[in-house]
Chain A
Amino acid sequence: QKEVEQNSGPLSVPEGAIASLNCTYSDRGSQSFFWYRQYSGKSPELIMFIYSNGDKEDGRFTAQLNKASQYVSLLIRDSQPSDSATYLCAVKGDAGKSTFGDGTTLTVKP
């Protein structure tokens, strides 16, 4: 079992819809959770981070964390074609090292 698991996709949603990206992790001691967006040929860009259980909203993005279920998700409202990218979930423990999932490829169709 991988330490951080994501559905590889591709996930395809129409423009304006909500895109839901999911991530599970195996280390119960994980402290911090991050979502990165990576466009093809580019490096990852941090878009959201969350430390506490519950929801955290930033513009069109909402991160949701459930430590009991070891689950973190990212919702993108009003999806735009420019949101089409690979989304990486990262989990960080006490050691300070992030473990990345393999990423979910999102395609938003106009």
Chain B
Amino acid sequence: GAVVSQHPSRVICKSGTSVKIECRSLDFQATTMFWYRQFPKQSLMLMATSNEGSKATYEQGVEKDKFLINHASLTLSTLTVTSAHPEDSSFYICSAQRSLGLANPHEQYFGPGTRLTVT
């Protein structure tokens, strides 16, 4: 399968600070990347869909000014949690979708996730 990396894997920050999480597709180009959040023992919750070169599309209830997403290239998307609060503590997972033209154009591959703890 395709490889998607995320950095950092774990971060602890103080309340009020901002945290940037990087998501990279290492061996394929991803026109679309997705950002999810998962609280303990709960399902994945889609936060936003990020398309290369355009503004991200946020799901209902997700504050776009708090969760800044940039998809500057076909292999990199970033999520910045601004003015983080303890309730933002969660497991953040990105996912990259292969560009059209390959055998299975709808395959979506997940990064290993970033565990954010806000103190």
Please report A residues at the B interface, Cβ cutoff 8 Å.
31-32, 34, 36, 42-46, 49, 88, 90, 92, 96-98, 100-103
Contacts and interface: CB of A to CB of B under 8 A. Distances in A.
B97 A96 contact: yes
B43 A96 contact: no
A42 B107 contact: no
Interface string B41-60: 01110100100000000000
Nearest to B113: A43
11 contacts: A31-B106, A34-B108, A42-B113, A43-B93, A45-B110, A46-B1, A49-B106, A92-B108, A96-B97, A97-B34, A98-B34
Nearest to B46: A97
A42 B44 CA distance: 12
B112 interface: yes
A104 B49 CA distance: 25
Contacts of A44: 44, 93, 110
Contacts of A43: 91, 93, 110-113
Contacts of B93: 43-44
Interface of B: 1, 32, 34, 42-44, 46, 49, 91, 93, 97, 104, 106-113
Contacts, number: 47
Contacts of B49: 96-97
The 8 lowest CB-CB distance pairs between A and B, nearest first, are A43-B113, A102-B43, A43-B110, A32-B106, A43-B93, A100-B44, A44-B110, A43-B112
A34 B110 CA distance: 13
Nearest to B104: A49
A46 B107 CA distance: 8
Contacts of B97: 96
